[in-house]
Amino acid sequence: MPILEGEGVTKYFGGLAAVSRVDFHVEQGEIVGLIGPNGAGKTTLFNLISGALTPSAGVIRFQGREITGLKPHRICKMGLARTFQSVKVFPNMPVFENVLLGALFGKPDGVSVAHAAEEATALLEFVGLSAVRSTPAKDLTLVNQKRLELARALATRPQLLLLDELMAGLNPTEVGQAMELVARIRDQGITIFMIEHVMKAIMSICDRIIVLHHGVKIAEGTPQEVATSKTVIEVYLGE
Amino acid sequence: MDIARLDLRKMWTPALLLIALALFATLPLYASRYLVILLTSIAMYVVLTGSWAIFSGPTGYISLAPAAFFGLGIYTSAVLGRTSPLPAVILVAGLASFLVALFVGALTLRLKGIYFAMFTFGLVELIKYFLLWYEVEFTGTRGRFVVVVDNTTIYYVMFIILATLLLTAYLIRRSRFGMALQSIGECEEAAAHIGVNVNLLKTVTFAISAIFIGMAGAIMATRWTYVDPYIAFNPLFSFMPVLMAIFGGIGRFGGPILGAVVFAYLEETLITRFPYYYMLLFGIVLIIAVVYLPNGLVGLAQILQKRISERRHAHTGR
C-alpha cells in the first residue's frame, strides 16, 4: 500500500483546471520529486494534499485513509507535514517557539510542554539553528528561515513530508547542505515528496520523479527516464 | 545576570499584586464616594479593553462586537434584575454573552481582516434593532428600568470581574493556547498546517472574551437605572476598547490595560473640567498618540527604558 496516493485529483479555479485528473502515488521510504514549468500546478497539488485547498474532484488517500477535503490541522495530526514555497514562519516569535508550536500541536495526542521543548531543542540542533534559538524568526536569513520551517514541520512527527521548493534561492553551498539534510531526514524513515526547480538536486536525490505540465501529469519515472523523456524535454526546452 | 533579574521580578510581581489587591479591596472604607465611582468607571474600561485584547491582541482580528456583548449584559440585568439575586444576574449575563459569541464566532471567524470587523459591527446594530422591534411589538415599551444597586457593591463586583479577567488572560497567555493564538495572528495558514485547530481556537477565545464584557454590562446597568436599546448598544462601547488598546499599545497584554486606565481617567477629567471642549481635546490627544506613539504608551516606555540603559552603559564605558 502506498503511503500517499491520489486518483483523478482535479482542481478548478473558475474555468481553469489548475490540476487535471492527476493520478500519483508515493511509496513508504521514497523520495519522490515533483517538477514542471512555472504554473504547472505543483503547489496547487501540494495544497490539495495538505488540505489548504479542497479538490473539485478525485480522491486522496494517506496511509490508506481518505483525506480528501479534511482540514489542514487534521491532516497534520495524521502524520503529513509540509513546508511552503514562500516561507511562512511566525515572524515575531522566537525561533524556538516556532518549532515548539509544531511539537505541541502537530501530534495526534497531547504532549507535555517539557517534552515538546526537548524535542524542539533537538530539532534545532538537527537543522543547525541552536545558536539563534531566541532570535525572532523574521531576523533570520532566507536559508535559515527555510531550515526553521523544516524543523517546525519535523516537530509534528510526520510520516510523510511535503517540501515545496526547499532549495529555491539558496547558493550552491547551501543547496548541498539542504540536500544532505533531506537525505538525513529520509534515513530517519520519513517519506519525502518534494517540489524542486534545482535540477542537480532533484536528479541526484530522488528515487522517482513526476512531471506536471498545465495541470496534467505528462511523465513519471526514475530521474534517468525523466531526463531522457522526449515529452519532458519538449516541455522544458520547446519543440 | 539574566537570572538575577528574573528572580527579582518573580519576587516583585506577586508582592505588588497582593498590595494592589489589598488596596483596592479596602478602598471604599476610607476613599471618597467620587473616587469609588471614578475607579469603577476606569475598571469598566479596563475590563472592556482587556477582554477585547485577549482575542484581538494576539490574533489581529479586529472585533467591533464589544458593544453587542455589553448590551446583552445590560439587558440581562434589566430583565432578570428584579427577580433574581445579583450574582445570578451577573453569571447569566456572562453565559448569554458567551453563547452568542460562540454562535457568531463559529459563523464569522472564517472572515478575515476588514470583513470580520464589519460583521462584528453589524452584529451590534442587528441586536439593537431586533430588540427595539421586539420591545415595541411585544412589550409595548421602549426602555426598561433597572434595579438600583449601591455604588460600593458595583465597585466590588466590577473589581471581581476585573480580577477574574486578568487571571484568565494571564493563564491563557502562559498556556500553549496563548502561543497558538499568537501564531494565528502571525500566519494563520502555517498555524493550521502544524496542527492548530484555528477555527475552534478562535471561536472559543472570542467567546471567553465576551463573558467578561457581558458581566461588566450587567453590573453597569444597575448604575444607569434606565436603559433602552440605544443606550445599551451604544457603538462607543465597541470603539473605545479598540482606541484604548491602540493608545496603550497592542503588542503586549499590559499595553491595552495601561491604555484603558490612562484613557478612562483622561476622559473623566476632561469631561468634568472642560465639558464643552472635551470631545475636541480628546480627539487631539488621540491624534497625537497615533502619530507619535505607533506602539502606544508601552512602546514609549520601552524607548525611554532603552535610552536610560544606554546612558548607563555609556557611563560605565568611561
Which amino acid does the sequence have at B194? I
The verdict on a CB contact (< 8 Å) between A88 and B187 is: yes
Q: B166: closest CA among B310, B47, B317, B20?
A: B47
Which structural domain, as residue segments, surrounds residue B101?
A: 34-244
Residue A28 sits at φ, ψ, to 5 deg, of: -50, 130
Tell me the mean pLDDT per 10 residues along chain B, length 318: 53 78 86 90 95 93 95 95 93 97 90 88 94 89 87 94 94 94 95 96 96 96 91 92 88 83 87 82 81 81 82 61
Size of interface A-B (CB pairs under 8 A): 76
Using DSSP, state whether A23 is helix, strand or coil: strand
Residue A13 sits at φ, ψ, to 5 deg, of: -110, 105
Contact between A200 and A24 (Cβ < 8 Å): no
Q: B96: closest CA among B79, B123, B72, B120?
A: B72
CA distance B30 to chain A (A): 46
Chain B residues within 8 A of A91 when measuring between CB atoms: 186-187
Q: Is residue B119 part of a domain?
A: yes
Give the residue-averaged pLDDT of A164-170. Answer: 90
Q: Is residue B309 part of a domain?
A: no
Question: Among A90, A152, A162, which would you mutate to test the B interface (most chain B Cβ atoms within 10 Å of its Cβ)?
Answer: A90
Q: Is residue B77 part of a domain?
A: yes
List residues of chain A with CB under 8 Å from any CB of chain B: 50-52, 71-73, 76-77, 81-82, 84, 88-93, 97, 100-102, 104-107, 113, 152-153, 155-156
Q: Is residue B87 part of a domain?
A: yes
Instruction: Count the alpha carbons within 13 Å of B264 in the hemisphere toward its beta carbon.
Output: 24
Give the residue-averaged pLDDT of A44-65. Answer: 95
The CA angle B128-B133-B134, to the nearest 5 degrees, is: 95
Using DSSP, state whether B80 is helix, strand or coil: helix
Q: What mean pLDDT, rounded, does chain A reach?
A: 93
Distance CA B275, CA B269 (A): 9
Using DSSP, state whether A9 is helix, strand or coil: strand
Please state whether B140 falls in left (phi above 0), alpha (psi between -120 and 50) or beta.
Answer: left
Contact between B40 and B158 (Cβ < 8 Å): yes
Chain B residues within 8 A of A89 when measuring between CB atoms: 187, 190
Segment holding A130, helix H or strand E: none
- Tens digit of each residue's pLDDT (9 = 90 or more) over A127-138: 999 999 999 999
The verdict on a CB contact (< 8 Å) between B196 and A97 is: no
Count of domains forming chain B: 1
Q: B38: closest CA among B27, B49, B48, B26?
A: B27
Question: Among A98, A100, A101, A154, which would you mutate to test the B interface (most chain B Cβ atoms within 10 Å of its Cβ)?
Answer: A101
Nearest to A101 among B180, B189, B199 (CB): B180
Buried/exposed A82-121: b ≥16 CB within 10 Å, e otherwise? bbbeebbbbeebbbbbbbbbbbbbbbeeebeeeebbebbb
The verdict on a CB contact (< 8 Å) between A73 and B182 is: no
Q: List the grid coordinates of A15.
A: 474555468
Contact between A97 and B179 (Cβ < 8 Å): yes
- Number of residues that make up chain B: 318
CA distance B213 to chain A (A): 29
Nearest to A88 among B176, B182, B190 (CB): B190
The ipTM value here is 0.92
Architecture in CATH of A1-71+189-239: 3-Layer(aba) Sandwich (3.40)
pLDDT of residue B310: 79
Burial class (CB in 10 A: 0-12, 13-18, 19+), B156: middle
Q: Where are the domains of chain A?
A: 1-71+189-239, 80-158
Q: A214: closest CA among A234, A192, A199?
A: A234
Residues whose CB is less than 8 angstroms from the CB of residue A131 and which lie 6 or more positions away in sequence, other chains included: none
Segment holding B83, helix H or strand E: none
Contact between B180 and A105 (Cβ < 8 Å): yes
pLDDT of residue A232: 85
Instruction: Count the alpha carbons within 13 Å of B111 in the hemisphere toward its beta carbon.
Output: 15
Is the pLDDT at A161 greater than 90? The verdict is yes
The verdict on a CB contact (< 8 Å) between A100 and B193 is: no
Please state whether A157 falls in left (phi above 0), alpha (psi between -120 and 50) or beta.
Answer: left
What secondary structure letter does DSSP report for A166?
A: T
Contact between B264 and B45 (Cβ < 8 Å): yes
pLDDT of residue B2: 47
Distance CA B139, CA B123 (A): 23
Distance CA B288, CA B100 (A): 37
Using DSSP, state whether B192 is helix, strand or coil: helix
The verdict on a CB contact (< 8 Å) between A97 and B179 is: yes
Using DSSP, state whether A221 is helix, strand or coil: strand
Q: List the grid coordinates of A221.
A: 519515472
Distance CA B303, CA B134 (A): 53
Sign of the dihedral defined by the CA atoms of residues B8, B10, B15, B21, in that order: positive
Contact between A161 and A82 (Cβ < 8 Å): yes
Q: Is residue B120 part of a domain?
A: yes
Cα-to-chain-centroid distance, residue A151: 12
Q: A155: closest CA among A89, A96, A81, A103?
A: A103
pLDDT of residue B314: 65
Determine the straight-line distance between the first and last CA of chain B, rounded to whole angstroms: 21
What residues does B273 pair with on adjacent strands? none
pLDDT of residue A147: 95
Helices (H), chain A: 42-50, 72-78, 95-105, 113-127, 142-155, 172-187, 199-205, 223-228, 230-237
Query: What is Dmax (Cα atoms) for chain B?
Result: 80
pLDDT of residue A18: 93
The proportion of chain A whose per-residue pLDDT surpasses 90, expressed as a percent, equals: 81
Chain A residues within 8 A of B190 when measuring between CB atoms: 84, 88-90, 152
Chain B residues within 8 A of A153 when measuring between CB atoms: 194
Virtual CA dihedral for A39, A40, A43, A45, nearest 10 degrees?
140
**pLDDT band per the 50, 70, 90 thresholds, residue A237:** confident
Strands A65-66 vs A57-62: parallel, antiparallel or unpaired: antiparallel
The verdict on a CB contact (< 8 Å) between A72 and B183 is: no
Segment holding A212, helix H or strand E: strand A208-213
Q: Is residue B263 part of a domain?
A: no
Which amino acid does the sequence have at A91? P
pLDDT of residue A197: 85
Buried/exposed B137-150: b ≥16 CB within 10 Å, e otherwise? eeeeeeebebbebe
